[in-house]
Amino acid sequence: MSKLEKFRELGLSEETISAIAKKGFEEPSQIQALTIPKLLENTIDIIGQAQTGTGKTAAFGLPIVERIIPGKGFVQALILVPTRELAIQVAEELSSFRGNKDISILPVYGGQSIDTQLRRLKKGVEIVVGTPGRVIDHIKRRTLDLSQIGYFILDEADEMLNMGFLEDIEIIFATTPKEKRTLLFSATMPTRIQKLASNYMPKYELLKVKAKLTADLTDQIYFEVHEASKLEALCRIIDIESEFYALVFCRTRNKADDVARKLSDRGYEAAALHGDITQHQREKILNSFKRKRINILVATDVAARGIDIDDLTHVINFSIPQNPEAYVHRIGRTGRAGRQGTAITFITPSEFRKLMRIQQQTKVEIRKEKLPKVKNVISKKRERVIAEITNILENGNFEDNLPISYELLAKYNADNVIAALMTHAYKDEFSITKYASIDEPSARSKRHPNENYALEENGKTRLFIALGKSDGMDPRKLIDFIQKNAKVDARNIRGLKVFDNFSFANVPFEDAEIIIQTFRNKGRNNKPLVTKAKEKSDSPDRSDRRSDRPKHRR
């Protein structure tokens, strides 16, 4: 019990401590250590900057369960969350903290029968965890009375704003009493959140944590792969792993459908989850996934919100996330609850800069790795099947099949019999023909060191500039010209090649954005004067052949 002492020191009661012991928590997480004493002692409002996986639910949940007066039968705390899954999850987590206290906790969300919710609300509820839309429904029907709440909590506030719930939150807030504590939790703090906070909390304390309970348990790697080879790459990764229980993220619904269908066609247990899927289907799919009937869920970011499964082995970014926040959110789904997880990002050569930006902003190390080779994948699969068969041989349970064995061995030799049985059971599973070859961009870039992606590997962008010798340019003049107009550091402009009518230069990608913006309508007919160069566009044999300006200028 000595470890739980740290929870005791935060001011929690023995009843709550024993509920925590049952959950198996050993010591408070960072956000819990910061938040719990504040919530138990004084009355200041709090903003907690913490993402999923930091233990934020317990950070507000434990003190609230502690402070609610049991058996009163009226709503004392409202927790607003972005999704129905999160509503259920938060309600379950809070329920696990209440011990024997007579505290009723109700999740309310769209999609569930409103009658069931009405009955529970009528009977009396102390804590409501709801999505904004359904909470408003109840307020309008006068079935939810928030006039006596002591706690108003916005959980995953940034997600709620992203989903367009601002107005709903405002309507709900207006029905709450003046005297209450407001708590806001958000993984990110964009200006919109700060504005929301200052509207609701005249005075608040900002508590910030970075460390997730489990951050160090997620291994983060990336593979450079062409779009067309991603599926093949994914299959190799799945096949080389002895355990694969994963969320695969795709940018669009169509892509998610396409990937899930192709995986199913190749014999994997996969399903797609996205916005076009009905609530009923969604629940069915999530259920199968939780029970591991399917082990691969291919989802869009929106559809994956609120999915909370602790034992995922992998998160795959089939499409690179749109921004660093999305990356953090996606990969936070693995490496949880003390389990090791792997986050894999596929990038196409032109996405290297995006990956660098994610790496810089999230301050994580994303390691480059090479895709597993087919022969290694197959030998791993063989090892596994041999281990499984050895296990059966050593532990029995095959006697019923011995008559088949005798019959076959009477006619054929043992080597052939076993091989035929393998074909019967596994078809072409161990054949290299099952896998297509993958044209790896990194291998190509060695052969063509001038290609763009080779340059982008150093975080640089190759620029095409529609000015050349015929405009009086030489490398020095071109650098001066760019530097003067775009105000970027001249030392960063490298690799200049000046041809008759156009030129190329390498610049860090941040500078590239600035330069392209600066010259966006400075070309002929207000067209861009500088654009990103296309692959191989500076290979002299091509450009020399052309007397006019190349197609880039569009």
Of 15 and 310, nearer to ligand AMP (C-beta) is: 310
Of 215 and 347, nearer to ligand AMP (C-beta) is: 215
- Residues belonging to the chain: 554
Q: Contact between 56 and ligand AMP (CB under 6 A)?
A: yes
**Shortest gap between Cβ of 249 and ligand AMP (angstroms)?**
19
**Shortest gap between Cβ of 28 and ligand AMP (angstroms)?**
5
3-state secondary structure of 131: coil
Of 60 and 249, nearer to ligand AMP (C-beta) is: 60
**Shortest gap between Cβ of 46 and ligand AMP (angstroms)?**
15
**Shortest gap between Cβ of 22 and ligand AMP (angstroms)?**
11
**Shortest gap between Cβ of 23 and ligand AMP (angstroms)?**
6
Of 156 and 257, nearer to ligand AMP (C-beta) is: 156
3-state secondary structure of 383: helix
Three-class HEC string of 454-484: HHHCCCEEEEEECCCHHHCCCHHHHHHHHHH
* Selection from 531, 229, 508, 487 nearest residue 353 by Cα: 508
**Shortest gap between Cβ of 306 and ligand AMP (angstroms)?**
10
Q: Give me 74's structure tokens.
A: 């009226």
Measure the CA angle with vertex 282, ends 276 and 284; round to 5°: 145
Gap between the Cα atoms of 508 and 458, Å rounded: 8
Which one of 10, 39, 58, 161 is in contact with ligand AMP (CB under 6 A)? 58
Of 213 and 374, nearer to ligand AMP (C-beta) is: 213
Of 310 and 513, nearer to ligand AMP (C-beta) is: 310
Of 96 and 112, nearer to ligand AMP (C-beta) is: 96
**Shortest gap between Cβ of 44 and ligand AMP (angstroms)?**
22
Gap between the Cα atoms of 119 and 115, Å rounded: 6
Gap between the Cα atoms of 435 and 484, Å rounded: 53
Q: Alpha-carbon Rg of the chain, whole angstroms?
A: 29
Gap between the Cα atoms of 257 and 271, Å rounded: 8
Q: Contact between 55 and ligand AMP (CB under 6 A)?
A: yes
Gap between the Cα atoms of 463 and 504, Å rounded: 5
Name residue, tokens 């002692």. Answer: 41
In the sheet with 503-508, reading across from the earlier edge strand, the strands are 494-498, 503-508, 460-465, 530-532
Q: Where are the beta strands (DSSP E) in 225-334?
A: 246-249, 270-273, 296-299, 314-317
Interface with ligand AMP in residues 89-148 (CB under 6 A): 93
Of 56 and 255, nearer to ligand AMP (C-beta) is: 56
**Shortest gap between Cβ of 29 and ligand AMP (angstroms)?**
5
**Shortest gap between Cβ of 339 and ligand AMP (angstroms)?**
11
Of 58 and 482, nearer to ligand AMP (C-beta) is: 58
- Total residues at the site for ligand AMP (CB under 6 A)? 15
**Shortest gap between Cβ of 7 and ligand AMP (angstroms)?**
8
Interface with ligand AMP in residues 173-232 (CB under 6 A): 213
**Shortest gap between Cβ of 373 and ligand AMP (angstroms)?**
37
**Amino acid identity for residue 495 in this structure:** G
Q: Contact between 63 and ligand AMP (CB under 6 A)?
A: no
**Amino acid identity for residue 31 in this structure:** I
Of 233 and 312, nearer to ligand AMP (C-beta) is: 312
Of 159 and 451, nearer to ligand AMP (C-beta) is: 159
Strand-pair category, 127-130 with 314-317: unpaired
**Shortest gap between Cβ of 31 and ligand AMP (angstroms)?**
8
Q: Which residues, in sequence order, are bridge partners of residue 185? A: 48
Applying CB under 6 A, the span of 55-63, 425-433, 451-459, 496-504 interacting with ligand AMP comes to: 55-63
Which residues touch 445 (CB under 8 Å, ≥6 apart)?
349, 451, 453, 454, 457
Name residue, tokens 């019990």. Answer: 1
Phi, psi of 384 (to 5 degrees): -65, -45
Which one of 16, 57, 334, 537 is in contact with ligand AMP (CB under 6 A)? 57
Q: Give me 277's structure tokens.
A: 């899927």
Binding mask 15-54 for ligand AMP (x = CB under 6 A): ----------x--xx--x-------------------xxx
In the sheet with 151-154, reading across from the earlier edge strand, the strands are 105-108, 127-130, 77-80, 151-154, 181-186, 45-49, 204-208
Binding mask 257-276 for ligand AMP (x = CB under 6 A): --------------------
CA atoms within 13 A on the CB side of 2: 0
Gap between the Cα atoms of 288 and 310, Å rounded: 15
Of 337 and 432, nearer to ligand AMP (C-beta) is: 337
Interface with ligand AMP in residues 310-349 (CB under 6 A): 310, 337
Site of interaction with ligand AMP (CB under 6 A): 25, 28-29, 32, 52-58, 93, 213, 310, 337
